[in-house]
């Protein structure tokens, strides 16, 4: 995947030592390589397609090599294509290394961070950049620690429900447009596009700024998506779930998320219902299902009657 070079430099707080004309850098994974083995002459299993990171150990080892061996090892090392090279701990880039980097169009960056600390930062950053993304029409809100994604057709009441939840002390993440990222095999996070972050559209009023209106405690930048509540206008002929014995799921970016279909009709307080749904979800996560508990009671009562 191609990653914007300028954004990466800014996010990881890098300084450019050897610039190139590359606007985007190609990364196949978030894994990294510290080329100690390559500098010792072993290139058989060289992960050259990863971010290359040099710390004190690698630079110190290079300094122990005689001039001819150093020249040979560095020449072979830079003959492979690589996304970029990072020098940690404020280490300087020797002229022979910088010259080879320029010749082979390999950008070299520096950081003051310790090597292991920078590796952790880079893994987190690349994991997020390389993760599958999707944009969903909906509203994401943190309700009692549960990330609730409210979906439904336009005008069904998603924003109004979220506004009432904010008034009740919950936190808005995104309104109308939610950028979803799969950060692991079974975990999704969502946030708002930077341009419209913390803004909400209320029909009849217009655009409002939730952070300015309700304070910084009423918003949060990102949240895991734990539960999807799909709002739809009440259809009289439709059979809605009244027991909750079976948990319905929906798939987003190949991750199954619990889903509740919530009918909307005049006079129904959706904010309270969504709060209850979030609390009930937490109880189910802890292993308690009210519908199953009631069914067990009825079964025991029936057995006692027999």
Could you give the CA distance from residue 290 to residue 277 in angstroms, rounded to a whole number?
A: 12
Contact 198, 192 (CB under 8 A): yes
Q: List, in sequence order, every beta strand (DSSP E) within the chain.
A: 2-4, 15-18, 24-26, 32-33, 51-54, 85-87, 108-110, 133-137, 139-143, 146-152, 171-174, 177-184, 187-191, 199-202, 206-209, 222-224, 227-233, 248-252, 255-264
Catalytic residues: 137, 158, 176, 242
End-to-end Cα, the chain, rounded Å: 66
Phi, psi dihedrals of residue 202, rounded to the nearest 5°: -115, 120
* Confidence category of residue 284, pLDDT binned at 50, 70, 90: confident
Least confident of 68-77, 79-88, 273-282, 289-298: 289-298
| Helix/strand/coil (H/E/C) assignment for every residue in 263-300 | EECCCCCHHHHHHHHHHHHHHHHCCCCHHHHHHHHHHH
Quick one: tokens of 79? 């003959």
CA atoms within 13 A on the CB side of 181: 15
Model pLDDT for residues 154-199, shown as the tens digit of each residue: 888 899 999 999 999 999 999 999 999 998 889 999 999 989 999 9
pLDDT, mean of residues 239-252: 80
pTM for the full model? 0.74
């Amino acid at each position: 995947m191609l990653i914007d070079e300028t954004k990466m430099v800014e996010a990881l707080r890098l300084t450019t030592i050897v610039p190139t004309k590359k606007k985007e850098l190609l990364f196949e994974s978030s894994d990294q390589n510290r080329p100690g083995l390559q500098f010792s002459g072993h290139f058989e299993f060289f992960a050259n397609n990863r971010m290359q990171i040099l710390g004190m150990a690698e630079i110190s080892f290079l300094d122990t090599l005689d001039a001819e061996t150093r020249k040979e090892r560095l020449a072979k090392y830079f003959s492979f294509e690589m996304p970029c090279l990072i020098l940690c701990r404020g280490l300087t880039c020797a002229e022979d290394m910088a010259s080879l980097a320029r010749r082979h169009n390999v950008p070299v960056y520096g950081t003051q961070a310790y090597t292991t600390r920078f590796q952790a930062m880079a893994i987190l950053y690349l994991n997020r950049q390389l993760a599958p993304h999707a944009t969903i029409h909906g509203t994401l809100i943190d309700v009692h620690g549960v990330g609730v994604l409210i979906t439904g057709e336009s005008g069904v009441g998603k924003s109004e429900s979220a506004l009432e939840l904010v008034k009740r002390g919950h936190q808005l993440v995104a309104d109308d447009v939610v950028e979803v990222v799969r950060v692991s095999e079974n975990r999704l996070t969502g946030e708002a596009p930077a341009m419209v972050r913390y803004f909400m559209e209320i029909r009849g009023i217009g655009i409002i700024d939730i952070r300015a209106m309700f304070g910084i405690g009423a918003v949060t930048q990102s949240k895991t998506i734990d539960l999807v509540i799909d709002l739809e206008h009440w259809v009289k002929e439709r059979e809605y779930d009244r027991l909750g014995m079976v948990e319905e799921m929906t798939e987003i970016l190949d991750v199954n998320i619990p889903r509740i279909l919530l009918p909307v009709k005049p006079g129904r307080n959706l904010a309270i219902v969504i709060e209850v749904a979030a609390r009930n979800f937490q109880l189910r996560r802890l292993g308690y299902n009210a519908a199953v508990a009631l069914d067990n009671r009825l079964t025991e009562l029936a057995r006692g009657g027999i």
